[in-house]
Amino acid sequence: MTWDTVDLEWSGDIATVTVDRPEALNALNVETIEAMGEAIAEARTEEARVLVVRGAGDDAFIAGADIKYMKDLSTPEGQAWGELGHSVANALERFPAPTIAVVDGYAFGGGCEMAMACDIRVGSESALIGNTEIDLGIIPGWGGTQRLPRLVGEETAKRMIYLGQRLDAETAREEGLLGEVVPDDEIDDRVAELAAELAEKPAFALQAAKDAIAQGYSDIGGLDYEKRTFGGLFGTPDQREGMDAFVENREPDFE
Ligand code: CO8
């Protein structure tokens, strides 16, 4: 299958899904996130031994969900949008082989959430990452309220989410949001090396390890709660103001 804004490429048993919308810093609109879900499903059907997720261009992994699309959504539409993002994040989290997010550039909001749904996050020195949704009058709605505290601890996650922090790569590594940080011009080689090493490991044992680790984090209730809460924020004055401000390139003035 082929898509306009997502590519699926293979190097042996290693599949790479690239979000390819650089003119919008790889922000995820409906078409792109649906394509991302289909590409992940195809990599699963073709039994990839490792799945790499990256963004096209030098500037961004994924700059988040598409604010221009989201800004006028009603509550039910916001709910459906949340479900769509959750389904793709869950497909990454439950992918039966190791997954690597290549966090090279911006990874905000839904971009940070897609990275957190991967097993391993490799960042470049110039990466900026965070669950920045609060400044748009919404909350992390694609799993961030559950996955961020798991990675960085509850108090740190609350600081990051409440303040909408945009972390530089080194801070993100210190806090546990990025597993490692490498110079910008070395990230592709490092990811290729890591993926090749993982592809040589015993696949069934890797899958069993991944499943066993996931059992300890059975947070389905939390993810469902987040989905319901997120949709309810669409149509509020603060959501409208936060997203209008982004589109109009000004600071938001919340009620
Ligand atoms: N959505 C839509 N368009 C975007 C986005 C985005 N998230 N990010 C960047 N773009 C667009 C810009 O509008 C611009 O387009 P144009 O050229 O047509 O004006 C283009 O990409 C380039 O962006 P900038 O000119 O702003 O580039 P800068 O280098 O000056 O700034 C930043 C880059 C810092 C990344 C800046 O673009 C920015 O702050 N973007 C928004 C980041 C953000 O807040 N992301 C979180 C979005 S909310 C979210 O992801 C919610 C997820 C959960 C959803 C759950 C739904 C139920």
Q: What is the pLDDT of residue 220?
A: 66
Q: What is the pLDDT of residue 229?
A: 78
The helix or strand, by DSSP H or E, that contains position 251, with its residue range, turns out to be none
pLDDT band at 65 (very low <50, low <70, confident <90, very high): very high
How far is Cα 162 from Cα 139, in angstroms, rounded to an integer?
Answer: 9
Q: What is the pLDDT of residue 219?
A: 66
Copy the structure tokens of residue 81. Answer: 């949008």
CB contact set of 222 (below 8 Å; sequence gap of 6+): 145, 146
The residues annotated as belonging to the active site are: 113, 133
With beta carbons less than 8 A apart as the criterion, state whether 52 and 14 touch: yes
What domains can be seen in the chain, in order of their start residue? 6-185 (3.90.226.10)
pLDDT band at 93 (very low <50, low <70, confident <90, very high): very high
E runs forming strands in the chain: 6-11, 14-19, 50-55, 60-62, 99-103, 106-108, 120-124, 128-130, 167-168, 180-182
pLDDT band at 175 (very low <50, low <70, confident <90, very high): very high
Q: In which order are the strands placed within the sheet that holds 50-55?
A: 6-11, 14-19, 50-55, 99-103, 120-124, 180-182
Nearest ligand 1 atom to the CA of 108 is: 45
Query: 49 pLDDT exceeds 90?
Result: yes
pLDDT tens-digit map of 139-170:
999 999 999 999 999 999 999 999 999 999 99
Which of 5, 20, 25, 104 for a ligand 1 pocket mutation test, highest count of atoms within 8 Å of Cβ? Answer: 25
pLDDT tens-digit map of 224-238:
778 777 778 888 899
pLDDT band at 89 (very low <50, low <70, confident <90, very high): very high
